[in-house]
Amino acid sequence: MPPARTPASPGAPRAAADAPWPGAAAPGGTAPVLCGLGSWLPPRRVGNDELSRELDTSDEWIRSRTGIGHRHVADAATATSDLAVEAGRRALKSAGTERVDAVVLATTTPDRPCPATAPLVAAQLGLGTVPAFDVGAVCTGFLYALAAGSGLIALGTARRVLVIGADKYSGILDPRDRSTRVIFGDGAGAVVLRAGDPAEPGALGPPLLGSDGTGADLVAIRSGGSREPLREAADGAADPYFRMDGRTVFRRAVERMADTSLAAAERAGWAAGDIDRLVAHQANLRILHAVADRMRLPRDRCAVHLDQVGNTAAASIPLALAHAVAGGRLAAGHRTVLTAFGGGLTWGACALHWPELTPV
Ligand code: ACO
């Protein structure tokens, strides 16, 4: 029998036989490299005029205040996992692989409050018993999920990770609330990360993330959690719908996305003007322009997709990436910054040289 091991005292040098952890120095590097991109939108496309027939709003108001012209809306039988599976399958195909070692799903609209949706998505993609978990950071969710997937690679837990952003906001909006109904759409986007070298195209710089829980009420579903269970507010006082204080969030979104994007660019050794493409969370065209102005970046370097799909929450960045590549606006070698802001409050940014890949 081997002798019992006594734990080393904190700070004591580790015995040579204990280090490194298996996999920590895996051949091929431990930098997360983006190598596949897929997206999926439910087929039903809803224009501003259709909403104007149901709500006290107009195409003119929606376009001038948000830049949105259409959004896609999933039918009642479609859950977030269905959207995520479609996007995930396409990202795997884009990466030329059928296997990953982990699945991270960013969503605010899981299929059910419990359990997480990611294991179901992994199973439906035929990925076996890989680790799979959800990340909840509202519209910043995709960047938080990228950070989590990158961590799995850096630690040697996984060599390949499928990172998905998927949301079905049509299921949590108050059908009578014109201030949110016109903004949000359903959809999913996904990327594959693989272990590689930090100098390769597609290698992610460190995601810079932040949060401010003092603003938790600004973007929220009030009822249905442990603070205010639905059954305890059954007298009609419950509010199970998504609510947003748009005006306050607007200003904070601009400041946080601009400042964090500049910080991410600086970490990559770039000045603001070096950024070829800013792929920001697609909340509002006026926000995209204000972010670019604050960064002193020409507005035409911002990816714009919200005119077609609205705000798709956690799916917004990978959907915008796929749209930009397909339209020739984002190409291999572009110095690219991804940034988002959302409920929590949460925000983040991440820089990379865009790699050669074909989105599916
Ligand atoms: N049609 C017509 N009028 C409307 C509509 C509509 N669809 N929605 C609101 N209005 C009215 C309001 O009632 C208000 O009327 P009042 O002046 O008589 O009170 C007026 O328009 C102005 O309302 P505001 O809320 O001040 O409008 P604003 O110009 O700020 O635009 C919007 C609202 C589009 C929501 C904007 O504030 C915004 O984009 N905010 C940021 C959203 C964001 O970034 N969210 C974070 C990420 S989302 C997430 O995490 C899930």
Which helix (H) or strand (E) segment holds residue 325: the answer is: helix 316-326
Q: For every residue of 179-217, which 3-state class applies, written as one string?
A: HHHCCECCEEEEEEEEEECCCCCCECCCCEEEECHHHHH
Ligand 1 mean position to 284 CA, how many Å?
10
Give every residue of the chain whose pLDDT is below 70, as ranges. 1-28, 232-235
Spatial distance between the Cα atoms of 37 and 193, rounded to a whole number of angstroms: 10
Spatial distance between the Cα atoms of 307 and 154, rounded to a whole number of angstroms: 37
Average pLDDT, the chain: 92
Write down the pLDDT at residue 86: 98
Catalytic residues: 139, 281, 311
Residue 220 Cβ < 6 Å to ligand 1: no
What would the two tokens of residue 218 be? 């600004």
Q: What is the pTM of this model?
A: 0.92
What would the two tokens of residue 317 be? 């960045």
Instruction: DSSP for 2-60, please give it.
Output: PPPPPPPPTTPPPPGGG-SPTTTT-TT-SEEEEEEEEEE--S-EEEHHHHHHHSS--HH
Write down the pLDDT at residue 237: 81
Using CB atoms within 10 Å of the CB of residue 63, give its burial: 0 to 12 exposed, 13 to 18 middle, 19+ buried.
Answer: middle
Residue 250 Cβ < 6 Å to ligand 1: yes
Residue 284 Cβ < 6 Å to ligand 1: yes
Q: Are 89 and 190 in contact (CB under 8 A)?
A: no
Atom 11 of ligand 1 has which residue's CA nearest to it? 179
Write down the pLDDT at residue 121: 98
Ligand 1 mean position to 312 CA, how many Å?
16
Q: What is the DSSP letter of 313?
A: G
Write down the pLDDT at residue 15: 41
Spatial distance between the Cα atoms of 233 and 223, rounded to a whole number of angstroms: 8
Q: Please list the residue range(s) of the chain that carry CATH number 3.40.47.10.
A: 31-196, 208-353
Alpha-carbon radius of gyration of the chain: 21
Cis ω before 173 (30° cut-off from 0): no
Residue 65 Cβ < 6 Å to ligand 1: yes
Q: Are 67 and 303 in contact (CB under 8 A)?
A: no
What would the two tokens of residue 187 be? 């959809």
Give 177-182 contacts, CB < 8 A, sequence gap 24+: 177/241, 177/243, 178/55, 178/56, 178/57, 179/244, 179/246, 180/241, 180/242, 180/243, 180/244, 181/51, 181/55, 182/48, 182/51, 182/55, 182/57, 182/62, 182/66, 182/68, 182/310
Amino acid, res. 232: E
Write down the pLDDT at residue 233: 62
Atom 36 of ligand 1 has which residue's CA nearest to it? 246
If one residue of 46, 52, 65, 241 were mutated to test the ligand 1 pocket, choosing by the most ligand atoms within 8 A of its CB, it would be 65
User: Phi-psi category of 272—alpha, beta or left, where left has phi over 0 and alpha has psi -120 to 50?
Assistant: alpha
What would the two tokens of residue 43 be? 């087929």
Q: Has domain 31-196 been given CATH number 1.10.510.10?
A: no
Write down the pLDDT at residue 325: 98
Write down the pLDDT at residue 16: 40
**Superfamily the domain 208-353 falls into:** Thiolase/Chalcone synthase (3.40.47.10)
How far does CA 276 lie from the centroid of its chain?
A: 21
Q: Are 54 and 323 in contact (CB under 8 A)?
A: no
The residue to which tokens 């509202």 are assigned: 138
Contacts of residue 174, Cβ cutoff 8 Å, sequence gap at least 6: 180, 181, 241, 242, 243
What would the two tokens of residue 42 be? 């439910």
Q: Are 110 and 79 in contact (CB under 8 A)?
A: no
Residue 188 Cβ < 6 Å to ligand 1: no
